[in-house]
Structure 1
Amino acid sequence: MNESLLRDLVPEVIGVLVRRGADFAAAEDAVQEALVEAVRGWPGAEPRDPKGWLVTVAWRKFLDAARADTARRRREERAEAEPAPGQGGAVDDTLQLYFLCAHPSLTPASAVALTLRAVGGLTTRQIAQAYLVPEATMAQRVSRAKRTVSGVRFDRPGDLATVLRVLYLVFNEGYSGDVDLSAEAIRLTRQLAAMTRHEEAAGLLALMLLHHARRPARTGPDGSLVPLAEQDRGRWDTTLIAEGIAILQAALARDRLGEFQAQAAIAALHADAPAAEETDWVQIVEWYDELVRLTDSPVVRLNRAVAVGEADGPRAGLAALAELDPALPRHTAVAAYLHERDGDLASAARLYVEAARSAPTLPERDHLTRQAARLNTRLRG
């Protein structure tokens, strides 16, 4: 059985049911029931028209569930007038489903869960494992999200920027459980970019590919964090890098710059450097200036301070850092790094210890603790 095909068909089939008059929650439930039957029956004999099979079974499941409803006859009459399952509308239905699952009324966590379930075709169990929460907790989150969007009309364009942010949230979760969320986010973004032909969707896809290319080198054999400058670049996936750069160049050629294209351009400059010391930091600072203009994000300004420290020296980086709120996440870690580059090892060691206390992840905390220990050893020597 082709599980990838099944997952690709899920949003199309949900879209057909919604067009026929099913509300979103009921349509999604019916499609999940149809998927269960497919998993049971297809290994022996996959149907000639998988989408048609899923539409037929899911619609029957929906009608069975709605049999007691007073509108049953009206829904069945509408169904008889529908075109054959595989004809037309599939791309539009899927695109609308992306927009619906990233509706502004949903929290980011709910939008992510609903996107993975309805567009990605993942089970609640798989999503729960990926986010390291109990299945019952994720089931409640998905149910609440479905109830929230059930009354939303399925007939107007959504906000592509919101969809892209949701997909980037999925990508940054990485890998846990039996689902590789980074790979799943790339798959969904690739699909979205093909449907919309939008330069920012292409920019996000390029950014994901360029980051994903470095994944094998990001951790050591013991699971420890390996900073970008210390990574073995021979382990980077050059095929993904080439694809990401080609997609980015095509998007930039349309001269409608957005934040994901600018982020991808920075990632491309890192990927293009044969060694860390050959990184074009001056050009990276210029791209961060573009990002600041586009977003005015404090996090972008923090990353820019690091780039300024590399391009113009650590004191210039510290001056840029001094303009930012010290409460920013990773502000202290950046200060530690720049003080070390400036030769102030005592301040750097103290700041590394302080940064480790508030590190958001265990690998990052361990890395910062090791940095502090390394400098303290040098100071004692």
Structure 2
Amino acid sequence: MLRVLTLSTLFPHAAQPTLGVFVERQTLGLASLDDVGLEVVSALGLPPWPALLHPHYAPRARLPRQEDWKGLTVHRPRFRAMPKVGKAQAARAMAKALLPRLRALRSRFPFDVIAAEFFWPDGAAAMHLSRALGVPFSIKARGADIHYWGARPGIGEQILEAGRAADGLLAVSSALKADMVTLGLPAEPIRVHYTGVDLDRFKPIDRHAAKARLGVEGPLLVTAGALVPRKGQDLVLEALSELDDATLLIVGDGPDRSALHRYARDNGLAGRVRFLGNRPHEELPRLLAAADVMVLASQSEGLANVWVEALACGTPIVISDVGGAREVVDRSEAGRLVGREAGAIAAAVRDLLAAPPAPAAARAAAERFSWDRNARELREHLGALVR
């Protein structure tokens, strides 16, 4: 029996049920294996009072400190996090708060390995906890932790220290592994660990009927992701201006929402754009399967789950040529890789609308991504660290 402690600040909870659903799904897959015991520690970084009363933090402060989440035992300890300032201290603060709790937990659940699911602050905190507890640890890189946090002064240095100290490292794509090496991490311990996709839930449906249920006529595009500059929804909106008869669904929320609303209104697009906000992950298959094209103009990615989920629905994708994009769009039926420029995005969409690939052909590009394979490979990786 391999006993795993999954450490992840990116994990869903009642206040943010779509947060880190890819981590949740991976963890459920690993926990389902007969020879794995697993518990989750999802620490909550919260500011001191009175900032704790802010609507952004108050719902998280009310979460239970331990709960059963879809059959997983999830611990939600708190650590002190200062908004905007003090971010570089987050990993040490997290480790300091967790250490006594993990020592107590080990008397009941003597975990063999710590699996950190993001480099910052999870991976750096795992390094401190590993040293204190004498337990090996692994860190999984997912994209923004390397491309964004890895470039932040005071944080990038801690990411390098943690990565060099880790017993094992994972990357969601070969491209991200290369970026980790460029950052200064050793190549030898990095294993590429692809995401999975639920092929029973994400599958082609009658697209015409699905559009009718949404009240859409003509071409339908969808983009999904946090509304932040890095995801490039502004470029997708600009491209929509060149696609006269298309409708765009924007799934997600974030600080750019107001600016994107204004752009749509000021450029005569409001009638062709629907801002759906954060939607339960269970709703995503019908939205992706209804679309003619999924578009995502990210500035950086590791390997976005929504790329694979759209393809599993038989929907081709138009994405920027970043991260593991070439590992997903490995055939013309999967879609097009483009520069982060509205004209290029619009041209690629027009190309796919003019000669759409058969849904089965687009789906074939996703069929090599499996949660079963993901779980088996993760079990093998973590087990080797213990041996």
Greater relative contact order, per chain length (Cα 8 Å cut-off, separation 6+): 2
TM-score (norm 2): 0.25
TM-score (norm 1): 0.25
Q: Which one has the bigger strand percentage?
A: 2
